[in-house]
Amino acid sequence: MEPDYKPHEIEKKWQEKWDESQIFQAEPDEREKFFITIPYPYLNGNLHAGHTRTFTIGDVVARHKRMLGYNVLYPMGFHVTGTPIVGLAELIANRDPQTMDVYERLHGIPGDILPTLDTPEKIVDYFKRESEKAMRNIGYSIDWRRKFTTTDPTYKKFIEWQYTRLEEKGLIVKGSHPVKWCPNDNNPVEDHDILYGEEATIVEYTLIKFRYKDLILPCATLRPETTYGVTNLWVNPDVTYVKAKVTKDGREEFWVVSREAFKKLTFTDRTVEYIEDVPAKSIIGIKLTNPITGDEVISLPASFVKPENGSGIVMSVPAHAPFDYLALRDLYDADLSEYGIAEDLRKIKLISLIKVPDFGEFPAKEIVESMGIENQNDPKAEEATKIIYRREFHGGVLKEITGKYEGQAVSKIKDILTRDFISSNAGETFYEFSEPVVCRCGTPCVVNMVKGQWFLNYSNPEWKAKVYECLSRMRIIPEEYRVEFENKIDWLKDKACARRKGLGTRLPFDKEWLIESLGDSTIYMSYYIIARFIESGDLKLENLTLSFFDYVLLGKGDLAAVSADTGLSPELLKEIRRHFNYWYPVDLRSSGKDLVPNHLLFFLFHHVALFEEDKWPKAIAVNGFVSLEGQKMSKSKGPILTMENAVSHYGADITRMYILSTAEQTQDADWQRTGVESARRQVDRFYSFAKDVIESRKRADLNTELKQIDRWILSRIQKYIRNTNSALDSIQTREAIQNSFFLLINDVKWYQRRGGENLLYYVLDNWVRLMAPFTPHLCEEIWEAMGHKDPISLAQYPLYNEDLIDDSAELAEEVIKGTLEDIEEIIRVTKMTPQMVHLYTAPAWKAKAVRCACDMQREDSLEVGNLIKTLMSNPDLKRFGKEIPKFVQKLVSEFKSGGADRYEVFAGSELDEQALLKESASFLEKEIGCPVEVHSADSPAFDPEKKSRFAEPLRPAIYIEQAKREE
């Protein structure tokens, strides 16, 4: 081994060796298989820290399983379909200043190359090369023979097959679909076209049609159930409203909405005709009919109503909405005569419609009063609204006032009510953005209904039922995300699966349309198995007929007929089918949490639609995002930390270890320079330790007489092995690194500090294998230096051995460490120079009290009174009657607060504290720099300040003689 740790040299060496030996090229064999996939990256930029986290989690799991003896397949492809790459090519061709700056400065594309990437094909080729290079440089154990891009002609055949079969099953239908639209460009917009609002989603509102004479005043709501609790409407007196003739499905109606809402309606699937302006005052103070309850409600003035939100008219539910309650209360003493309103608004009765956990009849009124919210402008009103809405959504149940919906959960009712309200013409759907969206041309975007669109029929109840069945059998990591999946399956509507422009595969049954990019990335995991035969030259484009995919993926069709249709030999067809049957289903899909509501959901829907149950996915793991020094990263705007940049700066292993040790599962990680530099120093220490151990040439011998410190380190390592394996099984990478590295490095320091050396080689042998999934290059280097011929990547991962657990050795070391820390603390606080340290072990009666407490704890009868009574009934202990109550109170308190385990070990072991401390005296003397004497509190030879009375089992009392100052 080199004298100093040089990450880049070591990493290059091992990446070349892995390539030469092809150890990650997986083929079916007799072993149990493990097929793990992660989302293939979208190639409109270099891989960044978010990819680094998700992909490294996948690689660590793959490496761990491989070392546990599984036959692991970890493949990778590239996603390029859709419009973003087309948009990026246009921006580069037009030399858009922001794009040129971000891609040169932050993505690191050389200034002479960037301007040449002016077509989608050139962008795909460039980022495909760069992404593969970055993933190879960070050391992923990927089978690169299986790579593909989603515009490969062979992949398009696979997608055509998928969509042909989905359409045959009636799971693809035609209809209208809402899209983000720029009225100026008269085109749909994708994320790359957006100046701001790229995070915006299209939200489905229900328009409730309140009626006044021959007019309809529609109100948009996300919670149609609250229509049962409406007491009034809110109209902004400063807004200009318009009357419009609205025609849909042959039905004509006259609506009053804000001017802004009128413009939005022109982009919906309605015919909209302007009639005249309507002064706001003319629709304030009027009595309208609630179309659901038949109740009469009044319209009241409210300046908070925004004309650009919904219809510009808002329904008020003061029993359940804090803002509505506050706004109504604020009007109680207002003079509303200018609107012709003379009645006492206090007489408006609140209408309760939801039973809410921890709240009474009127949750909004309750929370406003308990939080002391003064009026609608009080900032606390926002927080109150969030609390009520969260409680109502997750735990609320509808009351009797809602008729046949009584007892239904609020979280499940929206779709049912919207459907029922539409069928009775009391409501309609209306689409809005979750936040404003502005096109790069500067025009505010709208939601436009595109007619004649192809949809995946995700709302089909039979299809959803199969997805629920699949989910119920799956492992979800972390488990608490299961409810997130269930909610999203519930909420998922039909989704457009085709568009007019971009890269991709044409719909086989309507060639004018291209299959949308999320729609063609649902079952591509099965294509990895086929891709290996395409790469080897066994499969050509002309062989990939519908019958080919039916046979190899579904096992359907007559072999001889399929052979004749495809031009492939029956033997090859059977071999591909054998490979598919061996590798499928996917054992683990590991992904970022942003893909739960879309890609991961579609992954489940398409698998259950096409495959038999034994081929359905087995597990999904979800992880959080990565920010950069506290700032959210953006591919198109920055800031961004590319995978390539992190690795070239810090090395692959440090990048891998750091990004996985800063956050757990769905928590978001923050990449901080100081943190990664600290990780570098720790890895340096590990490397130096390994080098010293190897150079000492001293092999561990577990058959010789082991000292206590040896038994201690053996026991500790077993616990780290158990905890690391368990954490990796749950994909808790932070916990795994904590156990396999940070806690272990501290124990190794203590072991060496205590003079331990016999087992250093054993420690290294286990430690290097524990760390191999995280820092594979470094561990390969150390493993080779230890004399191993085979790579550590294929070595046996350490497995827990209970026989090596020694609780009494661990407890003994805990006593020594604790005693040393107590002595050091006294010296630090008193600032004295010690001349001699006296230690007093606990008297025998206290040890008996502990054993008695342990007996009672096991019988579940440990209480202060019980223990005192039992001890006092013992004639040998009665003479300590004055001291017993105080000691028992402290002891029972320690038992209750988690200290029982160590006392159990003490009670069940033959731990002789006096012998232990005498044996460790030389160690303590070396650490403190003065002599140490050990006494028993039962008969101390020297105790000038009666310190021995404070001695307890596992915690000796301490008296320090101060060195006399020289005059």
**How many CB atoms are closer than 10 A to CB 536?**
9
List the one residue out of 91, 106, 337, 77 whose CA is nearest residue 195. 91
Helix H or strand E encompassing 761: helix 760-771
DSSP state of 658: H
| CA end-to-end distance (rounded Å), the chain | 55
- Strands 354-355 and 187-188, by their bridges, are unpaired
Q: Is 902 exposed, middle or buried (0-12, 13-18, 19+ CB in 10 A)?
A: middle
CB 151 within 8 A of CB 81: yes
DSSP SS3 for 332: coil
Backbone angle region of 412, left / alpha / beta, with phi > 0 → left and psi within -120 to 50 → alpha: alpha
**How many CB atoms are closer than 10 A to CB 325?**
28
Determine the residue type at 402: T
DSSP SS3 for 436: coil
Q: Is 449 exposed, middle or buried (0-12, 13-18, 19+ CB in 10 A)?
A: middle
Give the C-alpha separation, 948 to 933, whole Å.
13
DSSP SS3 for 243: strand
**HEC letters along 441-494:** CCCECEEEEEEEEEEECCCCHHHHHHHHHHHHHCEEECHHHHHHHHHHHHHCCC
Give the distance, in angstroms, between the CA of residue 869 and the centroid of all CA atoms in the same chain. Answer: 53
Give the C-alpha separation, 287 to 289, whole Å.
7
List the one residue out of 905, 904, 839, 845 whose CA is nearest residue 870. 845
Which tokens hold the place of 94? 């037009």
What residues have CB less than 8 Å from 369, skipping those under 6 apart?
Answer: none
- Residues flagged as binding site for ATP: 635
**HEC letters along 11-60:** HHHHHHHHHHHCCCCCCCCCCCEEEEECCCCECCCCCEHHHHHHHHHHHH
List the one residue out of 502, 437, 501 whose CA is nearest residue 194. 437
Determine the residue type at 415: D
Determine the residue type at 303: S
CB 362 within 8 A of CB 326: no
Determine the residue type at 765: D
φ, ψ of residue 23 in degrees (nearest 5): -70, -15
CB 116 within 8 A of CB 506: no
CB 14 within 8 A of CB 776: yes
List the one residue out of 764, 657, 623 whose CA is nearest residue 139. 657
Which tokens hold the place of 22? 């092809």
Give the C-alpha separation, 92 to 306, whole Å.
38
Give the C-alpha separation, 833 to 962, whole Å.
6
Between vectors from CA 345 to CA 340 and to CA 346, what angle results, nearest 5°? 160
CB 217 within 8 A of CB 207: no
Which ranges of 801-883 does DSSP label H, i.e. alpha helix?
807-830, 844-858, 864-872, 875-878
Give the C-alpha separation, 762 to 611, whole Å.
48
- Residues flagged as binding site: 635
